[in-house]
Amino acid sequence: MKPILFEFGPIAIHAYGVFITAACLAGMGWAMREARLRGLVHELVPKVCFSALIGAILGARLLYVLIDLKHFAANPLEIFAFWNGGLVFSGGFLLGSLFGCWRLRNEGNILEWLDCFAPGVALGQAIGRIGCFMAGCCYGSKTFVPWAVTFTDPESLAPLYQPLHPSQLYHSLAGLLTFGILVLTKRKLATPGKLTGLFLVLFSSFRISIEFFRADYRGDFGVLSATQFIAAALLLPGLFLLFHKQARS
């Protein structure tokens, strides 16, 4: 709704960047809390988060560029314009997870570490999606529901003066609900990997559902979008981790 929060001469503070930064800090803070409670070396969390962040930025931007490769091939400099939005959470989650797991490869039970990070990732999503809403990216389809939003700022990436589904807020609410559910159930899902499995199931289910309310270009993939295919693929290991009885250690 307000892509640029402040301007100091030639310097502009973009809402997207502010909320993404806040999301990363909040997620890291919660992961440190979880690691400390589990008796893990919580000092490792910032290092892991830094590695995961590099992977997440690369993966999120890479998937965004691949989805609209024709546009970016014609406008290559826009590939680096992160402040205009354009980070696909699914791509960031995949590559960020790989980078983070690589950093933790010699640090004990990887599933227990993933359980530490899962709630923080959900919390980060809840906060970061507000940045999407402010920037107007990831916008929803036209609608006349009472909670429809209309973007009017000319800097917004969403279509102007049209009532749209606030799909960014749907994603934010999904992240908040996922975070709450994980926090409430973590004691019952004490087996390493169970909490991560629940996160993957919730994330995938919410993502697949909310995508049907979005209208931004996400590639030509027929009925499903690219991120829905990724979410569906993540659902399978999530179900396995959550329900596989031999996962208990």
Q: Rounded distance, CA 28 to CA 45, Å? A: 7
**Interacting residues of 171 by C-beta distance below 8 A, sequence separation 6+:** 89, 125, 129, 132, 138, 206, 207, 210
Q: Smallest Cα–Cα separation from 28: which of 42, 18, 16, 38?
A: 42
Task: Output the six-digit token pair for 125.
Answer: 């999503």
pLDDT digits (tens, 9 = 90+) for 89-115: 778 888 988 998 898 888 878 999 999
More confident of the two residues 163 and 138? 163
pLDDT for position 249: 45
Longest Cα–Cα distance in the chain: 60
Mean pLDDT, residues 56-77: 81
The continuous run of DSSP H or E covering 208 comes out as helix 194-210
pLDDT of residue 172: 97
DSSP string, 136-186: T-S-B-B---TT-EEB--TT-SSPBTSEE--HHHHHHHHHHHHHHHHHHHT
* Domain boundaries, given as residue ranges, for the chain: 4-247
Decide if pLDDT at 213 tops 80: yes
CA distance 159 to 231: 26
The yes-or-no verdict on residue 123 having pLDDT over 90 is yes
Compute the mean pLDDT over every residue in the chain, rounded to the nearest whole number: 88
- Worst-scoring range by mean pLDDT, 32-41, 156-165, 179-188, 220-229? 220-229
- The alpha carbon of residue 56 and the mean position of all alpha carbons in its chain are separated, in whole angstroms, by 9
pTM score of the predicted model: 0.86
- Quick one: DSSP state of residue 77? G
Region 204-221: what's the mean pLDDT? 86
